[in-house]
C-alpha cells in the first residue's frame, strides 16, 4: 500500500505538572512550565509508525501548529519513527485563540496538499479536552471517520476500526482515505531512544504559514474568564431531620 | 633569606616520608602543575586569585548542544520513572534484565563515545546532566553504568590508539559488551602503586602473560572487557636497570584464564555487581597495552580524575530527589497543631539541605564546564568536588530521614535505600581521606615550587631584584592582612560584592600564609594539619563556586536570583567562619597538645586491642 499518513501532534503542558491559573484569570501559567507531547498524540504517532513497520503505509508525516517550541514536539515524533515533519507557524494572539476549528482547517488543507490517505490524531488534548479536531477534519474533507479507536486494521483500501463507546466496543469498516482518532488502549507508545533522537536531527521539518494553506485563523470563541475549581466547603453536621429541612430551606434549596 | 634555604629541603623530605613509596611521590610530581596554571585551587594555595576558570560561571553548551540535551532529558527521565524499579533492583541484588536491556536500547551505555563509533557523542556537561537523572532515581544502576563507561572503558577513550578505539568502542557503546575497571587488590587499596598482579612479556614480545587477582570490581560478573593494571618489568633506557612499573591493559574475557567470584553482599548499591576477578596465565596481546608500557599509574589516575565530575553531578541529582521527599513530608505532616515545616528546627534542616545541594550542583557544572573548555589542570577541583558531594549527599539524606521520622526508616519510603547506597561514595574512587591529603599536599607542592624559583633568585640577588622585590612586597602586604591587589570586582555581581569578597580575600591571604608557616610543623603532626588545610581549601572553593553561580543568576535576572543570593550569602558567611576557626586553631598552642593527645590515645587503643579505660563499674 503506497499510502501517506498525516499525524497531528500537539504540544501541551505535561500531565504531571500542577496547573496554576494566571493572576489575571485570562488563562493558565505556561511560562517556564514543563511541556510535552499530548499523550493521545503519542499513541497516534505510535500507531502510524507501527503501520509503516508492517509496510502498510509508505511515509509518516508529523504535523504541529504553534510557535517555535512546537518543533521540539515534532522532533519527538521523528525520534519515534516519523519520516518528516511540518511546522505550521502560529504565534502570539493567533496561537492563544487557536482551537479545533482552525486546526482542523489546517489539517484538511495539508491532507489534500500532501495527498495523505490517512489522518491519525489523538482523540482529544489533555489541556482543552475538546474532542473535536478529528471529527471536524473528517467533515471538512468529507472523509469517513473512526474515532475512539482501540484497534485499527487496514484491509486493502478499507479500514476496520474497533471503537470504544459507552456500551462497550463497536466495530466499523470505513473506506480510505479516512480520519482515525486514537483512544488510550490503541497501543503503548515506544520510548524514544537516544540514538533515534540523534537520527531524528537529520530528518527534515518544513515550515509553512496558515495563509499559504488558505486558512483563516479567526476564532469564533472568546475566553471570558479562567478560574480554579471552587474550594470544597466544609460540611455541617445536623442532629435531626427537622434541622436538616430547616438548613435546606435556609440555603434556599427547597 | 635563610628561611627559604631551610624550607625547601624540609618540604621535599616531608613529601617523600609521607608517601613512603617513590611511586606516590612521582605521582605527586606528575600532578605538579606548571606555574602558569589557571586552576583556581592551585593559585589559591599560592595566595593568588585566578579567576579564569571560575568567573563567569562556565556556559559551554552552544544552542545546538543545549537543544539536543533538552531532547534527551525527557526520554531518560521517563525511562527511570516508568521502567526502572529501584526497590526491586535492591531486593533482587541485580538490575532487572528487562531494565538493563532497555538501558542498552536507550543508548545509555555509550553516552560519551563519538557518534561515528556508535555512541551519543555527549561532552562532559551534557553527560553530567543525564547522570543527574540516574543519580536521582537509582544509584545502583548509576554505578553499573558508571563502572562501565565512566571508568571501565574511559581508558580507551583517553589513551586508546585508533585500532583499539575502532575495535572495542562500538560494542561497548551499544552495551553488547560491558566493561570494568580493575585496579584494587586484596593488599592494595589506597596504596594503588603497590599492586602485585603481574604481566610478564613473552620472549617474542608479541604477548604478555598475566597473573593475579583483583577484588571489589564493579561489573566483574557482567563484563567482557576489562581495563587491568599490572606490574611489568621495564628497562630504564639510561641506566639499563630493570624495574617493575605499572602498565594498563585491555583484557578480554575471551582470552581465556579470566574468572570471577560470586557477587559480594553489600550494604548498598546492591543492584550493582561487585566481585573478585582472577587472572590465571592470561595471554594478552601486546597490541592491547593501553598507553605506554610502564605508564599505567598515570593512566589509572587520569581515568579516575576524568570521571570524578560525574559523581558530583549524580549526587546533586540524588540530593534533589531526597529533598523533594523531605519537603513533601514537612509540608503535609501536622504535629502540635502546625505543619512541621513551620518549626525552626525543621526549617534549619531544609535550608542546610538546599545549600549543600546548591554547592554540589555548582561544583559539578563548574568542573565539567572547565573540562569542556579545554582545561587540563582540574584535578584538585575534581577531588574537592568528589569529597564535598559524597559527604553532602550523606548528610542531606540522613537529615531527610530525620525529617520524615519513623517513616524515613521504613523501606517503603525509599530513603533508607538511598542512604545505604550513598555510604560507598565516601570510600571508592579514592577515599575522601586520601583525596584530602592529595588536595593539601598539592598546596604544599605548589608553594614549594614557588619557593624553588625564589631560591634560584636568591643565588643571584642583583640579577633577580625585580622578582625578589615583588615577593617581599607581597609577603609584607600579607603580613599586614591587605589584599595582594587582584580584584574580583569585574566578575562578581554588585549585590554580592560587599563583605563576601572581603571574606574570600581574607581566607585567600590567610591560607597560603598559613601553609608557609606550617612547614615548620613537625612531621608527626602532618596529616592532622593537612586534613584541616584541605577542609579550608574545600570551603574556599565552595565559596567561589557559589559566588560565581549566584552572580550569573543575578546578572541574568533570573526569578530565582534573590533566593540564590541568600543561599550564597549564608554559605559564605559560615564557610568563612569555619576557615578562620581552623586557621586560628592550627596557629594556636593548643593544637600541638591536641595532636599529641590524639596520637597517644590512638596508640594506646591499638596496643590494647580495644578501649583502654576500665569499666566505670569496675567490671
Supply the DSSP string of B180-211, one letter for each residue. EEE--BTTBSS-GGG---EEEEPTTSSEEEEE
Instruction: Provide the b/e sequence for A201-225 (b: ≥16 CB within 10 Å).
Output: eebebeebebeebebebeeeeeeee
Nearest CA in chain B to A74: B71
pLDDT at B489 over 80: no
Q: B284 and B199 in contact (C-beta within 8 Å)?
A: yes
H helix intervals, B107-225:
124-137, 139-145, 154-159, 162-174
Q: Among 3.40.50.300, 1.10.3720.10, 3.10.129.10, 3.40.50.620, what is the CATH number of A4-251?
A: 3.40.50.620
Q: Evaluate whether B28 touches B445 at the Cβ level (below 8 Å).
A: yes
Residue B429 annotated in active site: yes
pLDDT above 70 for B352 = yes
Chain B interface mutation, best of A194, A196, A201, A203, highest count of B Cβ atoms under 10 Å: A194
User: Strand B198-201 relative to strand B207-218: parallel, antiparallel, unpaired?
Assistant: antiparallel
Nearest to B106 among A36, A72, A193 (CB): A193
Residue B35 has pLDDT above 60, yes or no: no
Cell digits for B210? Answer: 598475566
| Across B204-228, average pLDDT | 96
Look up residue B109 and give its three cell numbers: 551505555
pLDDT, residue B586, reads 83
Is residue B363 within 8 A of residue B545, CB to CB? The reply is yes
Q: Is B328 exposed, middle or buried (0-12, 13-18, 19+ CB in 10 A)?
A: exposed
pLDDT higher than threshold 50 for residue B321:
yes
Closest partner CB to B78 (pick from A72, A79, A191): A191
| Range B477-493 average pLDDT | 47
Q: Are A195 and B120 a contacting pair at CB < 8 A? A: yes
DSSP class of B486? -
Decide: helix, strand or coil at residue B158.
Answer: helix
Residue B482 banded pLDDT, cuts 50, 70, 90: very low
**Residues on chain B touching A195 (C-beta within 8 angstroms):** 107, 118, 120
Look at B538 and B589; give whichever has higher pLDDT: B538
Q: Where are the alpha helices (DSSP H) in B196-281?
A: none
* CA B454 – CA B470 distance, rounded (Å): 11
Q: Which pLDDT band holds residue A233 (cuts at 50, 70, 90)?
A: confident
pLDDT digits (tens, 9 = 90+) for B190-203: 999 999 999 999 99
User: Which pLDDT does position B513 carry in this prediction?
Assistant: 57
Q: What is the pLDDT of residues B46-78, one digit of tens each?
A: 767 777 888 889 999 999 899 899 889 989 999
Q: Using CB atoms, which residue from A32, A36, A197 is nearest to B72?
A: A197
The percent helix, strand, coil of chain A (3-state, each to 5) is 30, 25, 45
Under an 8 Å CB criterion, which residues of A touch B?
32, 36, 72, 75-76, 79, 191-195, 197-198, 201
Mean pLDDT over residues B234-238, rounded?
A: 87
The number of residues in chain B equals 619
**Residues A50-64: tens digit of each pLDDT:** 999 999 999 999 999
Of chain B residues 118-157, which have a CB less than 8 A from chain A? 118, 120-121
pLDDT digits (tens, 9 = 90+) for B417-469: 999 999 999 999 999 999 999 898 876 666 556 555 555 555 555 455 555 44
What DSSP designation does B223 have? -
Instruction: Render pLDDT for A164-220 as a digit per residue (tens, 0 to 9).
Output: 999 999 999 999 999 999 999 999 998 888 888 888 989 999 999 999 999 999 999
User: Which residues are within 8 A (CB) of B197 and not within 5 positions of it... i.e. 6 or more apart?
Assistant: B185, B210, B211, B212, B213, B214, B228, B229, B230, B231, B279
Check pLDDT > 50 for residue B353. Answer: yes
pLDDT digits (tens, 9 = 90+) for B74-87: 899 999 999 999 99
Phi-psi region of A18 (alpha: psi -120 to 50; beta: other; left: phi over 0): beta
Mean pLDDT over B235-254 rounds to 93
Q: How many CA atoms lie within 13 A of B468 on its CB side?
A: 13
| Spatial distance between the Cα atoms of B504 and B515, rounded to a whole number of angstroms | 17
All residues of chain A having their beta carbon less than 8 Å from the beta carbon of residue B71 are 72, 75-76, 79, 197
Tell me whether residues B107 and A193 touch, CB distance under 8 A.
yes
- Which residue, B264, B260, B231, B617, is CA-closest to B428? B264
**pLDDT > 90 fraction of chain B, expressed in percent and rounded:** 66
- Our CA angle for A79, A83, A89, nearest 5°, is 85
Considering the entire predicted model, what is its pTM?
0.82
pLDDT digits over B277-304, tens only? 999 999 999 999 999 999 999 999 999 9
Q: Which of B276, B429, B471, B564 is catalytic?
A: B429
User: What residue ranges do the domains of chain A occupy?
Assistant: 4-251
Tell me whether B108 touches chain A (CB under 8 Å): yes
Give the separation between CA B91 and CA B88, rounded to whole angstroms: 5
Question: What local confidence, expressed as pLDDT, does residue B249 receive?
Answer: 97
Confidence of residue B509 (pLDDT cuts 50, 70, 90): low
Q: Which long-range contacts (CB under 8 A, 24 or more apart) does B7-13 make?
A: B7/B448, B7/B451, B7/B516, B7/B519, B8/B448, B8/B451, B8/B452, B8/B455, B10/B519, B11/B444, B11/B447, B11/B448, B11/B451, B11/B519, B12/B448
pLDDT band at B238 (very low <50, low <70, confident <90, very high): confident
Residues in B touching A191 (Cβ below 8 Å): 75, 78-79, 83, 102, 106
Q: What is the pLDDT of residue B505?
A: 56
Residue B116: pLDDT band with limits 50, 70, 90: very high
Strand A59-66 relative to strand A84-89, pairing: parallel
Of B438, B417, B413, B435, which is closest to residue B426 (Cα–Cα)? Answer: B435
Question: What pLDDT is recorded for position B289?
Answer: 97
Of B228, B224, B191, the closest CA to residue B212 belongs to B228
Predicted confidence band of residue B587 (pLDDT cuts 50, 70, 90)? confident
Q: What SS3 state is found at B333?
A: coil
Percent with pLDDT over 70 in chain B: 81
pLDDT value of position A141: 97
Tens digits of residue pLDDT in B354-407: 999 999 999 999 999 999 999 888 999 999 999 999 999 999 999 999 999 999
Amino acid at each position: 500500500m503506497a499510502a501517506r499518513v498525516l499525524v497531528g501532534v500537539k504540544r501541551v503542558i505535561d500531565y504531571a505538572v500542577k496547573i496554576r491559573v494566571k493572576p489575571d484569570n485570562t488563562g493558565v501559567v505556561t511560562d517556564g512550565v514543563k511541556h510535552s507531547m499530548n499523550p493521545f498524540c503519542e499513541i497516534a504517532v505510535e500507531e502510524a509508525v507501527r503501520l509503516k513497520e508492517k509496510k502498510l503505509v509508505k511515509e509518516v508525516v508529523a504535523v504541529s501548529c504553534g510557535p517555535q517550541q512546537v518543533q521540539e514536539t515534532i522532533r519527538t515524533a521523528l525520534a519515534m519513527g516519523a519520516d518528516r515533519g511540518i511546522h505550521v507557524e502560529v504565534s502570539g494572539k493567533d496561537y492563544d485563540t487557536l482551537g479545533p476549528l482552525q486546526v482542523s482547517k489546517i489539517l484538511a488543507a495539508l491532507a489534500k496538499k500532501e495527498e495523505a490517505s490517512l489522518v491519525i490524531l489523538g482523540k482529544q488534548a489533555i489541556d482543552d479536552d475538546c474532542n473535536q479536531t478529528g471529527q471536524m477534519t473528517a467533515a471538512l474533507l468529507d472523509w469517513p471517520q473512526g474515532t475512539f479507536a482501540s484497534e485499527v486494521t487496514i484491509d486493502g483500501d478499507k479500514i476496520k476500526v474497533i471503537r470504544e463507546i459507552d456500551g462497550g466496543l463497536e466495530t466499523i469498516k470505513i473506506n480510505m482515505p479516512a480520519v482515525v482518532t486514537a483512544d488510550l488502549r490503541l497501543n503503548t507508545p515506544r520510548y524514544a531512544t537516544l540514538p533515534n533522537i540523534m537520527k531524528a536531527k537529520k530528518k527534515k521539518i518544513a515550515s509553512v504559514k496558515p495563509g499559504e494553506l488558505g486558512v483563516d485563523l479567526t476564532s469564533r470563541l472568546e475566553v471570558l474568564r479562567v478560574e480554579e475549581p471552587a474550594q470544597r466547603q466544609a460540611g455541617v453536621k445536623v442532629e435531626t431531620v427537622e434541622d436538616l429541612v430547616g438548613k435546606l430551606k435556609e440555603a434556599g434549596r427547597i | 633569606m635563610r628561611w627559604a634555604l631551610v624550607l625547601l629541603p624540609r618540604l621535599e623530605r616531608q613529601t617523600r616520608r609521607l608517601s613512603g613509596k617513590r611511586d606516590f611521590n612521582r605521582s605527586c610530581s606528575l600532578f605538579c602543575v606548571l606555574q602558569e596554571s589557571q586552576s583556581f585551587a592551585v593559585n589559591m594555595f599560592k595566595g593568588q586569585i585566578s579567576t579564569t576558570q571560575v568567573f563567569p560561571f562556565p556556559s559551554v553548551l552552544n544552542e545546538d548542544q543545549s537543544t539536543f540535551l533538552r531532547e534527551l532529558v525527557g526520554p531518560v527521565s521517563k525511562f527511570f520513572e516508568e521502567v526502572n524499579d529501584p526497590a526491586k533492583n535492591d531486593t533482587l541484588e541485580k538490575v532487572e534484565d528487562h531494565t538493563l536491556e532497555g538501558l542498552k536500547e536507550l543508548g545509555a551505555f555509550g553516552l560519551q563515545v563519538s557518534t561515528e563509533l556508535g555512541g551519543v557523542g555527549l561532552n562532559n556537561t551534557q553527560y553530567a546532566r543525564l547522570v543527574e537523572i540516574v543519580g536521582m532515581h537509582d544509584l545502583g544502576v548509576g554505578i553499573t553504568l558508571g563502572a562501565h563507561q565512566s571508568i571501565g572503558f574511559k581508558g580507551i577513550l583517553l589513551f586508546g590508539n585508533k585500532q583499539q578505539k575502532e575495535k572495542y568502542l562500538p560494542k561497548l557503546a551499544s552495551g553488547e559488551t560491558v566493561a570494568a575497571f580493575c585496579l584494587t587488590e586484596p593488599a592494595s587499596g589506597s596504596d594503588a602503586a603497590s599492586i602485585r598482579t603481574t604481566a610478564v612479556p613473552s620472549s617474542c614480545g608479541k604477548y604478555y602473560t598475566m597473573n593475579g587477582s583483583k577484588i571489589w570490581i564493579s561489573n566483574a560478573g557482567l563484563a567482557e572487557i576489562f581495563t587491568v593494571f599490572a606490574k611489568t618489568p621495564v628497562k630504564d633506557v639510561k641506566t639499563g636497570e630493570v624495574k617493575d612499573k605499572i602498565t594498563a591493559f585491555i583484557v578480554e574475557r575471551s582470552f581465556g584464564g579470566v574468572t570471577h567470584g560470586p557477587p559480594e553482599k553489600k550494604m548498598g548499591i546492591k543492584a550493582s555487581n561487585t566481585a573478585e576477578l582472577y587472572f590465571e596465565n592470561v595471554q594478552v596481546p601486546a597490541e592491547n597495552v593501553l598507553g605506554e608500557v610502564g605508564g599505567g599509574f598515570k593512566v589509572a589516575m587520569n581515568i579516575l580524575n576524568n570521571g570524578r565530575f560525574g559523581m558530583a553531578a549524580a549526587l546533586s541529582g540524588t540530593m534533589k530527589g531526597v529533598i523533594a521527599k523531605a519537603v513533601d513530608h514537612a509540608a503535609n505532616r501536622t504535629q502540635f497543631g502546625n505543619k512541621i515545616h513551620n518549626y525552626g528546627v525543621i526549617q534549619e534542616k531544609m535550608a542546610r539541605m538546599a545549600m549543600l545541594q546548591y554547592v554540589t550542583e555548582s561544583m559539578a557544572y563548574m568542573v565539567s564546564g572547565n573540562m569542556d573548555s579545554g582545561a587540563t589542570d582540574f584535578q584538585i577541583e575534581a577531588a574537592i568536588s568528589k569529597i564535598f558531594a559524597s559527604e553532602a549527599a550523606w548528610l542531606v539524606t540522613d537529615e531527610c530521614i530525620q525529617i520524615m521520622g519513623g517513616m524515613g526508616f521504613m523501606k517503603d519510603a525509599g530513603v533508607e535505600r538511598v542512604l545505604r547506597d550513598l555510604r560507598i561514595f565516601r570510600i571508592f574512587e579514592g577515599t575522601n581521606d586520601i583525596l584530602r591529603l592529595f588536595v593539601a599536599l598539592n598546596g604544599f607542592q605548589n608553594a614549594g615550587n614557588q619557593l624553588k624559583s625564589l631560591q634560584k633568585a636568591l643565588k643571584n640577588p642583583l640579577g633577580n631584584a625585580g622578582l625578589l622585590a615583588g615577593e617581599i612586597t607581597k609577603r609584607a602586604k600579607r603580613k599586614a592582612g591587605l589584599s595582594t591587589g587582584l580584584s574580583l570586582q569585574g566578575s562578581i555581581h554588585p549585590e554580592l560584592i560587599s563583605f563576601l569578597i572581603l571574606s574570600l580575600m581574607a581566607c585567600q591571604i590567610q591560607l597560603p600564609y598559613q601553609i608557609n608557616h606550617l612547614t615548620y610543623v613537625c612531621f608527626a603532626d602532618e596529616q592532622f594539619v593537612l586534613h584541616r588545610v584541605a577542609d579550608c581549601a574545600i570551603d574556599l572553593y565552595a565559596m567561589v563556586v557559589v559566588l560565581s553561580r549566584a552572580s550569573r543568576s543575578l546578572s541574568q535576572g533570573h526569578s530565582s536570583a534573590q533566593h540564590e543570593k541568600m543561599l550564597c550569602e549564608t554559605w559564605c558567611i559560615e564557610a568563612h567562619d569555619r576557615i578562620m576557626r581552623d586557621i586560628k586553631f592550627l596557629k594556636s598552642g593548643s593544637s600541638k597538645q591536641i595532636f599529641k593527645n590524639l596520637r597517644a590515645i590512638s596508640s594506646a587503643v591499638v596496643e590494647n586491642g580495644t578501649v583502654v579505660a576500665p569499666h566505670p563499674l569496675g567490671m
